[in-house]
């Protein structure tokens, strides 16, 4: 049984308000039967220093990725992970994390690959919970293992591969990296080291919408009206056509995927998780440089 | 087996400890190094501008090296500043503190640059973070070189 949705007035304008909860809602529902709280951070040790009481950790390196294949876990792996955390297919899952919920959105997106029915993001993530002085604990819960069904991962419709993007040139591509990454001036985030991309630039035709434009200073999502103004009016993106979002390794674009899919209600949004680390290193794949989307090569 | 023959005793002990553990326990050990990192003394806490930033790291970290005297035998002291909400970065700083603090300038210069790759953490943390630790070591060595005159 799903828990009741958060009827915070801010959320009602979003296309899928049931995908977000506020810190107050979470504080009010901690300990409710049928609720699991999951922390997923970029800093893989942050959970151990303190977390929301009852929250379990999902480590993006060790839990979501296959150890050998450059891919996510399969249905059996996902069932083992979630069952081991005490999460059933009927559990309402609320995910939060550090760095503006990048990795929380990423984890939510992986949950979406398996079609977990009720998974929500904590608006503002870990930082807002901290800023509000809410309770943290270092007690690690040990939920009784439960059965989570083996569900085949369905990448179609949610995830894009390099070949999909090659066939999508000329379509609505959104590059959510910072502007210097988009223009090709640098191949990594400002102040972050280079992760080894051979060339800088963007996928030809991609619009630049840095992920941060979707977030307020406190890490919460901007209002529906603000988001519409950016993605629809300014960038001219239309829900009637499919969209593919990408960044450097797929985590920032999971955040933008969430915005387009759940807050603006675009029905067909895919995240290209190979992103620039794959595209910028791939042989015979076209790129564009500079501040403009650039010419799309003829097929 | 990870080669430790070219390491000083302290670093060899750390590398051996990490490699004796499972991946999950390696993270726990990294967390212990994070909590073991000493606070900055007042002379630096009050003057953060004296510390050098390490932009290779994914979280803010600053460090400064003191060398007692000059020459290869001069002892080296390390000081780090890293926020508590960046435990992985703090953990790497803690390893370098534990492994290098008090060594001579020559011994610090001799630390292999790939020390971050020998901790068995490649599966558990991103390459960016391991490179951040290498970035800290590079800056420590440069400061030691400048301050010891070797």
d(CA A148, CA A163): 32
Mean pLDDT for chain A overall: 94
pLDDT above 80 for B58: no
Whether residue A208 lies in the annotated active site: no
Can you give the pLDDT at residue B83?
Answer: 87
pLDDT bin (cut points 50, 70, 90) of residue A268 is very high
Can you give the pLDDT at residue A195?
Answer: 54
Can you give the pLDDT at residue B2?
Answer: 78
Interface list for chain B against chain A, based on CB atoms closer than 8 Å = 23-24, 27-28, 30-31, 34, 55-56, 58-59, 84-89, 91, 123-128, 131-132, 135
Contact A62 B23 (CB under 8 A): yes
Spatial CB neighbours of A185, under 8 Å, sequence gap ≥ 6? A200
Alpha helices in chain A (DSSP H): 9-12, 23-29, 75-84, 102-113, 125-131, 162-166, 179-183, 224-227, 252-258, 275-279
pLDDT in tens, A91-108: 999 999 998 899 999 999
pLDDT in tens, A49-69: 999 999 999 998 889 998 888
Listed as own residue / partner, the contacts of A110-114 with beta carbons closer than 8 Å and 24 or more positions apart are: A110/A64, A110/A72, A112/A158, A113/A72, A113/A153, A113/A154, A113/A155, A113/A158, A113/A159, A114/A75, A114/A78, A114/A151, A114/A153, A114/A154
Of B27, B55, B126, the CB nearest to A191: B55
B126: chain A residues, CB-CB within 8 Å: 61
A193: chain B residues, CB-CB within 8 Å: 55-56, 128, 131-132, 135
Q: What is the pTM of this model?
A: 0.90
- Pick the catalytic residue: A104, A247, A264, A288? A247
Can you give the pLDDT at residue B146?
Answer: 95
Can you give the pLDDT at residue A299?
Answer: 74
Question: Percentage of chain B with pLDDT > 90?
Answer: 75
Can you give the pLDDT at residue A188?
Answer: 63
pLDDT in tens, A172-216: 999 999 898 899 987 665 555 555 678 899 999 999 999 989 999
d(CA A250, CA A110): 11
Question: Percentage of chain B with pLDDT > 70?
Answer: 97
Can you give the pLDDT at residue B126?
Answer: 81
Can you give the pLDDT at residue A273?
Answer: 96
- Alpha-carbon torsion angle A39, A42, A43, A48, nearest 10: 10
pLDDT in tens, A202-260: 999 999 999 989 999 999 999 999 999 999 999 999 999 999 999 988 989 999 999 99
d(CA A226, CA A224): 6
Contact A43 B127 (CB under 8 A): no
Which residue of chain A has the CA closest to B133?
A193
B28: chain A residues, CB-CB within 8 Å: 48
d(CA A74, CA A81): 10
Contact A45 B34 (CB under 8 A): yes
Can you give the pLDDT at residue A190?
Answer: 54
pLDDT in tens, B80-137: 999 888 899 999 999 999 999 999 999 999 999 999 999 999 888 888 788 889 989 9
Can you give the pLDDT at residue A87?
Answer: 98
pLDDT in tens, A131-174: 999 999 999 999 999 999 999 999 999 999 999 999 999 999 99
What are the DSSP E strand ranges found in A189-299?
A: 207-208, 243-246, 269-272
Which residue of chain A has the CA closest to B61?
A191
Distance between A61 CA and the closest CA of chain B, angstroms: 6
pLDDT above 60 for A281: yes
Residue A70 near chain B (CB below 8 Å): no
Can you give the pLDDT at residue A192?
Answer: 53
Residue A46 near chain B (CB below 8 Å): yes
Can you give the pLDDT at residue B4?
Answer: 86
d(CA A286, CA A235): 22
pLDDT in tens, A3-24: 889 999 999 999 999 999 999 9
Sign of the alpha-carbon dihedral angle for B98, B31, B87, B5: positive
Q: ipTM of this predicted complex?
A: 0.82
Can you give the pLDDT at residue B1?
Answer: 62
Can you give the pLDDT at residue B57?
Answer: 61
Spatial CB neighbours of A236, under 8 Å, sequence gap ≥ 6? none
d(CA A82, CA A76): 10
Would you tell me which residues 202-261 of chain A have a C-beta closer than 8 angstroms to some C-beta of chain B?
Answer: none
**Under a CB-based contact definition with an 8 Å cutoff, are residues A119 and A89 in contact?**
no
B25: chain A residues, CB-CB within 8 Å: none
A129: chain B residues, CB-CB within 8 Å: none
Higher-confidence residue: B129 or A269? A269
Contact A49 B85 (CB under 8 A): yes
**Under a CB-based contact definition with an 8 Å cutoff, are residues A259 and A194 in contact?**
no
């Amino acid at each position: 049984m799903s828990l009741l949705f958060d009827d915070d007035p801010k959320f009602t304008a979003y296309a899928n308000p049931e995908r977000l909860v506020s810190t107050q809602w979470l504080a009010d529902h901690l300990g409710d039967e049928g609720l699991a709280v999951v922390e997923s951070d970029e800093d893989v040790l942050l959970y151990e220093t303190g977390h929301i009481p009852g929250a379990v950790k999902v480590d993006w390196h060790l839990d979501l990725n296959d150890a050998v294949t450059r891919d996510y876990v399969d249905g059996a792996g996902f069932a083992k992970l979630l069952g081991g955390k005490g999460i059933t297919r009927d559990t309402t899952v609320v995910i939060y994390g550090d760095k503006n919920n990048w990795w929380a959105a990423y984890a939510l997106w992986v949950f979406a690959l398996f079609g977990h029915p009720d998974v929500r993001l904590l608006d503002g993530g870990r930082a807002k919970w901290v800023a509000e002085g809410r309770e943290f604990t270092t007690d690690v819960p040990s939920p009784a293992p439960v059965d989570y069904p083996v569900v085949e991962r369905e990448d179609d419709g949610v995830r894009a591969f390099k070949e999909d993007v090659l066939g999508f040139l000329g379509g609505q591509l959104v590059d959510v990296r910072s502007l210097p990454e988009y223009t090709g001036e640098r191949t990594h985030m400002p102040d972050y080291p280079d992760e080894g991309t051979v060339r800088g630039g963007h996928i030809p035709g991609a619009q630049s919408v840095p992920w941060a434009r979707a977030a307020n200073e406190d890490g919460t999502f901007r209002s529906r009206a603000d988001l519409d103004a950016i993605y629809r009016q300014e960038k001219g993106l239309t829900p009637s056509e499919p969209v593919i979002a990408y960044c450097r390794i797929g985590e920032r674009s999971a955040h933008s995927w969430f915005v387009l899919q759940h807050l603006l209600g675009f029905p067909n949004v895919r995240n290209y998780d190979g992103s620039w680390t794959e595209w910028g290193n791939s042989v015979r794949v076209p790129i564009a440089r500079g501040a403009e989307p650039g010419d799309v090569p003829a097929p | 087996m990870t080669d430790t023959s070219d390491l000083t005793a302290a670093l060899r002990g750390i590398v051996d400890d990490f490699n004796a553990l499972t991946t999950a326990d390696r993270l726990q050990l990294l967390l212990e190094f994070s909590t073991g990192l000493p606070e900055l003394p007042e002379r630096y806490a009050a003057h953060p501008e004296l510390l050098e930033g390490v932009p290779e790291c994914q979280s803010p970290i600053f460090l400064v090296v003191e060398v007692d005297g000059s020459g290869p035998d001069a002892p080296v002291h390390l000081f780090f500043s890293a926020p508590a909400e960046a435990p992985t970065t703090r953990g790497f700083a803690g390893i370098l503190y534990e492994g290098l603090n008090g060594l001579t300038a020559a011994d610090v210069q001799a630390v292999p640059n790939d020390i971050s790759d020998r901790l068995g953490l490649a599966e558990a943390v991103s390459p960016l973070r391991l490179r951040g630790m290498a970035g800290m070591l590079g800056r420590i060595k440069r400061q030691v070189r400048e301050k010891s005159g070797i």
